A and B are shown apart, each in its own frame.
Chain A
Amino acid sequence: MGIRFILMVNKQGQTRLAQYYEWLTVEERRALEGEIVRKCLARNEQQCSFVEHRNYKIVYRRYASLFFLVGVDNDENELAILEFIHLLVETMDRHFGNVCELDIMFHLEKAHFMLEEMVMNGSIVETSKANILSPIQLMEKAT
Chain B
Amino acid sequence: MTMHGMRGLSVFISDVRNCQNKDQERLRIDKELGNVRNRFKNEKGLTPYEKKKYVWKMLYIYMLGYDVDFGHMKAVSLISAPKYPEKQVGYIVTSCLLNENHDFLRLAINTVRNDIIGRNETFQCLALTMVGNIGGREFAESLAPDVQKLLLSSSCRPLVRKKAALCLLRLYRKNPDIVNVDGWADRMAQLLDERDLGVLTSSMSLLVALVSNNHEAYWSCLPKCVKILERLARNQDVPQEYTYYGIPSPWLQVKTMRVLQYFPTIEDPYTRRTLFEVLQRILMGTDVVKNVNKNNASHAVLFEALALVMHLDAEKEMMSQCVALLGKFIAVREPNIRYLGLENMTRMLMVTDVQEIIKRHQAQIITSLKDPDVSIRRRALDLLYGMCDVTNAKDIVEELLQYLSSADFTMREELSLKAAILAEKFAPDLSWYVDVILQLIDKAGDFISDDIWFRVVQFVTNNDDLQTYAAAKVKEYLDKPAVHETMVKVSAYILGEYSHLLARRPGCSPKEIFSLLHEKLPTVSTTTIPILLSAYAKILMHIHPPDQELQSQIWAIFNKYESCIDAEIQQRAVEYLALCQRGAPLMDILAEMPKFPERKSSLIKRAEYSEADTAEQSAIKLRSQQQTSNALVVTDQHPANGATSPISVGELSLVKVPSMITSENDTSTDLSQQNGALSNVDTQPPSADLLSDILGPLAIEGPPGATVQSEHNAISGLEGGSDAVDGSAIVPVEEQTNTVQPIGNVAERFHALCLKDSGVLYEDPYIQIGIKAEWRGHHGRLVLFLGNKNTAPVVSVQAIILTPAHLKMELSLVPDTIPPRAQVQCPLEVVNLRPSRDVAVLDFSYKFGTNMVNVKLRLPAVLNKFLQPIQVTAEEFFSQWRSLSGPPLKLQEVVRGVKPMPLPEMANLLNSFRIMICPGLDPNPNNLVASTTFYSESMRAILCLVRIETDPADRTQLRMTLASGDPTLTFELKEFIKEQLISIPTAPREAAPAPAAAQPTPQIPPNDPAAILAGLLS
Which A residue's beta carbon lies closest to that of B242? A128
Which A residue's beta carbon lies closest to that of B304? A77
Taking a contact as CB atoms under 8 Å apart, the answer to whether A77 and B300 are in contact is yes
- The B271-326 residues at the A interface (CB cut-off 8 A) are 293, 296-297, 299-300, 303-304
B122: chain A residues within 8 A (beta carbon): 135, 138
Which residue from A21, A52, A127, A134 sits with its C-beta under 8 Å from B249? A127
CA of A18 to CA of B61 in the docked complex: distance in angstroms?
11
A107: chain B residues within 8 A (beta carbon): 1, 3
Which residue from B3, B88, B159, B239 sits with its C-beta under 8 Å from A106? B3
CA of A108 to CA of B205 in the docked complex: distance in angstroms?
28
A18: chain B residues within 8 A (beta carbon): 63
A82: chain B residues within 8 A (beta carbon): 296, 300, 336
CA of A53 to CA of B478 in the docked complex: distance in angstroms?
39
Q: Is B704 an interface residue (CB 8 A)?
A: no
- The B64-122 residues at the A interface (CB cut-off 8 A) are 64-67, 83-85, 88-89, 92, 96, 99-100, 122
B241: chain A residues within 8 A (beta carbon): 128-131
CA of A134 to CA of B96 in the docked complex: distance in angstroms?
22
Q: Is A80 an interface residue (CB 8 A)?
A: yes
Taking a contact as CB atoms under 8 Å apart, the answer to whether A15 and B65 are in contact is yes
Knowing A79-B340, A121-B133, A139-B88, the reply to whether A2 touches B205 (Cβ < 8 A) is yes
Q: Is B376 an interface residue (CB 8 A)?
A: yes
Which residue from A26, A48, A124 sits with its C-beta under 8 Å from B373? A48
CA of A10 to CA of B554 in the docked complex: distance in angstroms?
66
Taking a contact as CB atoms under 8 Å apart, the answer to whether B372 and A47 are in contact is yes
A88: chain B residues within 8 A (beta carbon): none
Which B residue's beta carbon lies closest to that of A134? B159
Taking a contact as CB atoms under 8 Å apart, the answer to whether B133 and A21 are in contact is yes
CA of A23 to CA of B59 in the docked complex: distance in angstroms?
15
Q: Is B602 an interface residue (CB 8 A)?
A: no
Which residue from B6, B99, B197, B202 sits with its C-beta under 8 Å from A23? B99
B808 to nearest A CB, angstroms? 23
Taking a contact as CB atoms under 8 Å apart, the answer to whether A121 and B338 are in contact is no
Q: Is B254 an interface residue (CB 8 A)?
A: yes
B61 to nearest A CB, angstroms? 10
Taking a contact as CB atoms under 8 Å apart, the answer to whether B65 and A26 are in contact is yes
Taking a contact as CB atoms under 8 Å apart, the answer to whether B64 and A15 are in contact is yes
Taking a contact as CB atoms under 8 Å apart, the answer to whether B13 and A106 are in contact is yes
CA of A105 to CA of B336 in the docked complex: distance in angstroms?
30
A17: chain B residues within 8 A (beta carbon): 63
Pick the interface stretch among B148-156, B161-169, B640-648. B161-169
Taking a contact as CB atoms under 8 Å apart, the answer to whether B300 and A109 are in contact is no
Q: Is B201 an interface residue (CB 8 A)?
A: yes
A104 to nearest B CB, angstroms? 11
Q: Mark B9-52, 1 if CB is under 8 A from A, else 0.
A: 01001100100000000000000000000000000000000000
Q: Mark A115-132, 1 if CB is under 8 A from B, else 0.
A: 010001101111111110
B300: chain A residues within 8 A (beta carbon): 77-80, 82-83
Which A residue's beta carbon lies closest to that of B64? A15
Which A residue's beta carbon lies closest to that of B294? A83
Which residue from A80, A109, A120 sits with its C-beta under 8 Å from B251? A80
Q: Is A86 an interface residue (CB 8 A)?
A: yes
Which B residue's beta carbon lies closest to that of A136? B88
Taking a contact as CB atoms under 8 Å apart, the answer to whether B1 and A121 are in contact is no
Knowing A21-B133, A48-B336, A87-B244, the reply to whether A125 touches B163 (Cβ < 8 A) is yes
Which residue from B59, B166, B297, B378 sits with its C-beta under 8 Å from A121? B166
Which A residue's beta carbon lies closest to that of B245? A83
Q: Is A143 an interface residue (CB 8 A)?
A: yes
Q: How many A-B residue pairs have CB under 8 A?
A: 168
CA of A21 to CA of B336 in the docked complex: distance in angstroms?
26
CA of A48 to CA of B337 in the docked complex: distance in angstroms?
8
A124: chain B residues within 8 A (beta carbon): 201-202, 205, 251, 255
CA of A125 to CA of B92 in the docked complex: distance in angstroms?
16
Which residue from B198, B239, B372 sits with its C-beta under 8 Å from A46? B372
Q: Is B432 an interface residue (CB 8 A)?
A: no
Taking a contact as CB atoms under 8 Å apart, the answer to whether B56 and A30 are in contact is no
Q: Is A63 an interface residue (CB 8 A)?
A: no
The size class of the interface chain A forms with chain B is 35 or more
- The A30-81 residues at the B interface (CB cut-off 8 A) are 30, 33, 43, 46-52, 77-80
Q: Is B339 an interface residue (CB 8 A)?
A: yes
Knowing A83-B293, A96-B1, the reply to whether A120 touches B167 (Cβ < 8 A) is yes
CA of A136 to CA of B240 in the docked complex: distance in angstroms?
21
B89: chain A residues within 8 A (beta carbon): 109
Q: Is B375 an interface residue (CB 8 A)?
A: yes
Q: Is B327 an interface residue (CB 8 A)?
A: no
Taking a contact as CB atoms under 8 Å apart, the answer to whether A50 and B336 are in contact is yes
Taking a contact as CB atoms under 8 Å apart, the answer to whether B56 and A125 are in contact is no
Taking a contact as CB atoms under 8 Å apart, the answer to whether A79 and B303 are in contact is yes
CA of A16 to CA of B340 in the docked complex: distance in angstroms?
29
B335: chain A residues within 8 A (beta carbon): 46-49
Q: Most chain-B CB neighbours within 10 Å: which of A47, A112, A123, A139?
A: A123
Q: Is B62 an interface residue (CB 8 A)?
A: yes
Taking a contact as CB atoms under 8 Å apart, the answer to whether A108 and B169 are in contact is no
Which A residue's beta carbon lies closest to that of B167? A120
Which residue from B64, B249, B250, B375 sits with its C-beta under 8 Å from A51? B375
A26: chain B residues within 8 A (beta carbon): 62, 65-67
Q: Is B696 an interface residue (CB 8 A)?
A: no
- The B141-197 residues at the A interface (CB cut-off 8 A) are 159, 162-163, 166-167, 169-170, 173, 197
Q: Is B4 an interface residue (CB 8 A)?
A: yes
Taking a contact as CB atoms under 8 Å apart, the answer to whether B336 and A83 are in contact is no
A78: chain B residues within 8 A (beta carbon): 300, 336, 339-340
Taking a contact as CB atoms under 8 Å apart, the answer to whether A47 and B373 are in contact is yes
Which residue from B1, B251, B338 sits with its C-beta under 8 Å from A48? B338
Taking a contact as CB atoms under 8 Å apart, the answer to whether B198 and A112 are in contact is no
Which residue from A84, A109, A116, A131 sits with its C-beta under 8 Å from B159? A131
Knowing A23-B99, A105-B13, A127-B244, the reply to whether A48 touches B339 (Cβ < 8 A) is yes
Q: Mark B331-352, 1 if CB is under 8 A from A, else 0.
A: 0000110111000000000000
A22 to nearest B CB, angstroms? 9
Taking a contact as CB atoms under 8 Å apart, the answer to whether A113 and B88 are in contact is yes
CA of A142 to CA of B48 in the docked complex: distance in angstroms?
15
Q: Is B129 an interface residue (CB 8 A)?
A: yes
A70 to nearest B CB, angstroms? 13
Q: Is B948 an interface residue (CB 8 A)?
A: no
Q: Is B976 an interface residue (CB 8 A)?
A: no
Knowing A77-B303, A124-B205, the reply to whether A108 touches B13 (Cβ < 8 A) is yes
Q: Is A29 an interface residue (CB 8 A)?
A: yes
Q: Is B132 an interface residue (CB 8 A)?
A: yes
Knowing A79-B336, A86-B293, A126-B162, the reply to whether A109 touches B56 (Cβ < 8 A) is yes
A43 to nearest B CB, angstroms? 8
CA of A49 to CA of B4 in the docked complex: distance in angstroms?
37
CA of A26 to CA of B63 in the docked complex: distance in angstroms?
9
Q: Is B609 an interface residue (CB 8 A)?
A: no
B389 to nearest A CB, angstroms? 25
CA of A126 to CA of B251 in the docked complex: distance in angstroms?
10
Which B residue's beta carbon lies closest to that of A110? B1
CA of A46 to CA of B241 in the docked complex: distance in angstroms?
32
Taking a contact as CB atoms under 8 Å apart, the answer to whether A106 and B10 are in contact is yes
Q: Is B848 an interface residue (CB 8 A)?
A: no
Q: Most chain-B CB neighbours within 10 Å: which of A78, A84, A124?
A: A124
- What are 17 inter-chain pairs, A to B, with CB distance below 8 A? A19-B96, A21-B133, A33-B65, A46-B335, A48-B336, A48-B338, A79-B303, A80-B304, A82-B336, A84-B251, A109-B89, A112-B92, A113-B92, A120-B129, A127-B251, A128-B198, A129-B241
Kindly list 13 other residue pairs between chains A and B, CB separation below 8 angstroms, not including A15-B64, A142-B83: A29-B65, A48-B338, A51-B375, A79-B296, A79-B336, A80-B300, A83-B297, A105-B17, A116-B92, A121-B170, A125-B198, A126-B202, A142-B85
A-B pairs, 7 with minimum CB distance? A79-B300, A48-B335, A128-B241, A123-B205, A23-B99, A80-B300, A47-B373
